Amino acid sequence: MSELVTALKSAGLAPVLDADVLAAHAVDHAGLVPAGKAAALVRARSTDEVSAAVQVAAEFGVPVVPQGARTGLAGAATAVDGALLLDLSQMDRILSIDPVNRVAVCQPGVLNAAISEAAKEFGLRYSPDPGSWQISTIGGNIATGAGGMCCVKYGTTPEYVLGLEVVLASGEVMRCGRTTAKGVAGYDLVRLFCGSEGTLGIITEATLKLSPIPAERLTLAAVFDTTADAGRAVTAIMASGAQPSLLELIDNTHLRALEALRPMGLPTEAAALLLAAADANPAAELVAIERLCVESGAAEVFRATDAEEADALLESRRSAYHAMEKLGTVLVDDVAVPRSRLAEALDAVQATAERHGVVIGVIAHAGDGNLHPNIIVHPEDPDSLAAGRAAFDEILETALAMGGTITGEHGVGLLKRDWLVKELDPVNLAVQRRLKDALDPLGILNPGKVLRR
């Protein structure tokens, strides 16, 4: 330990050793993921400092756990025993905004929302918008392949990452990708690092694609007596060729929790609320979406009367996780199924809740088939904990049986590591292990996350 600290100081770094600070940085937002005891924390301020820290860690064979805002929900930023925690949140500068080429160059600690704020004066925005967009960093978004509420039309984070600067396990600094609109020279290493959760390299700079801000957006809310009817409405909307810019489902458990957190007149007796928005010929789009909702069984459909009301609805949706925290510890699931099986998946989650006697609320990026069943557990009660874990596993099993995936956007981390082997075929898994070994032969980068060694 003393030799590691001495080496870090000799490299011009200032390791933090305070036990309380290390404990505070040992976890992210993943529920029920045990944290190890870190050896030290380094708050990096530049790519050179990240490189220096990794070189020292490699010399001593010390695990490196990269961290940003630690808003992740799968345990990717959780400490492992003896780790050097590498906090990148102070690398928070937007280095440039180029309105002609429509790109932004950012350090990893920049908050997601800050990019759109900086680009707004040019009529541009950064489209991916995870629920945590105001508090999550772009480095973490890229490392987990984050999604968001507008993915149904605009896609996920990896589709907006053009280039990266990455510190490898050796401490070497590599650039990959491009700034041009097109480019296919060599292997696509940018996509390799997107979603790698810090296990292949540490992102220190990103070149991101920007998009024009839509001229207008209109929003509606459809109320349903059953979640299955809401699911069928989603299927009908997507089959119709409509192009909503947002299609979000909020179930009754979340409606009640949200209304308790911040009263705004949500329909707490409804089984589900479907939020839809359109931003290309939005008036005509919403007329068609409203008709399909009614034909699928919507009891009522409301149009947001102005932008303020629409923003309030969306902000309420973003608060869903925090509202559920008032009920107990939230074990967050994150599965995606084919859109055609969304209604079936919603019914299956409800059956799982009843079978195990646990509270499960579902919010969903419904247009993507991406469900977030939020399971409430009380860790001090062994029976509650066991039931919650059993429900969590059953939901993952259900998703795979439907041809889906164990994680749509939160990543694998520690939380779902043992499930990855059930989703991937053996050859796929072997290739992923070889990639990890090739880029991180000492196994020091975020060890134990995503893949077991």
According to the model, what pLDDT value does residue 216 have? Answer: 87
Per-residue pLDDT reduced to its tens digit, 161-188: 999 999 999 999 999 999 998 999 999 9
Per cent of the chain over pLDDT 70 is 100
Q: Using CA atoms, how far apart are residues 329 and 374, in angstroms rounded to an integer?
A: 10
Query: What mean pLDDT comes out for the span 304-312?
Result: 79
Per-residue pLDDT reduced to its tens digit, 283-307: 999 999 999 999 999 999 998 877 7
Alpha-carbon distances of 148 from 74, 156, 434, 439, rounded to whole Å: 16, 7, 31, 29
Per-residue pLDDT reduced to its tens digit, 388-408: 999 999 999 999 999 999 999
According to the model, what pLDDT value does residue 35 have? Answer: 94
> What is 272-294 written as a DSSP string?
EEEEEEE-SSHHHHHHHHHHHHH
Per-residue pLDDT reduced to its tens digit, 59-95: 999 999 999 999 999 999 999 999 999 999 999 999 9
Q: What mean pLDDT is reported for the chain?
A: 95
Q: In what order do the strands lie in the sheet with 64-67?
A: 40-43, 84-87, 64-67
Which pTM value belongs to this model? 0.95
Q: Cα-flanking dihedrals φ and ψ of residue 220, to 5°?
A: -135, 160
Task: Sketch out the chain's domains with CATH numbers.
Answer: 2-87 (3.30.43.10), 94-212 (3.30.465.10), 216-322 (3.30.70.2190), 327-437 (3.30.70.2740)
Find how far residue 435's CA is from the centre of its chain.
Answer: 23
Q: Using CA atoms, how far apart are residues 289 and 282, in angstroms rounded to an integer?
A: 10
DSSP state of 213: P
According to the model, what pLDDT value does residue 311 have? Answer: 81
Per-residue pLDDT reduced to its tens digit, 29-44: 897 899 999 999 999 9
Q: Using CA atoms, how far apart are residues 133 and 146, in angstroms rounded to an integer?
A: 10
Closest CA to 133 of 146, 121, 120, 144: 146
User: Is the separation of the CB atoms in 96 and 104 below 8 Å?
Assistant: yes
Question: For residue 145, what pLDDT band results from cuts at 50, 70 and 90?
Answer: very high
Per-residue pLDDT reduced to its tens digit, 18-29: 999 999 999 998
Region of 237 on the Ramachandran plot (φ > 0 left; ψ -120 to 50 alpha; else beta)? alpha
According to the model, what pLDDT value does residue 1 have? Answer: 65
User: Is the separation of the CB atoms in 27 and 33 below 8 Å?
Assistant: yes
Query: What mean pLDDT comes out for the span 347-359?
Result: 97
Query: What mean pLDDT comes out for the span 125-135?
Result: 91
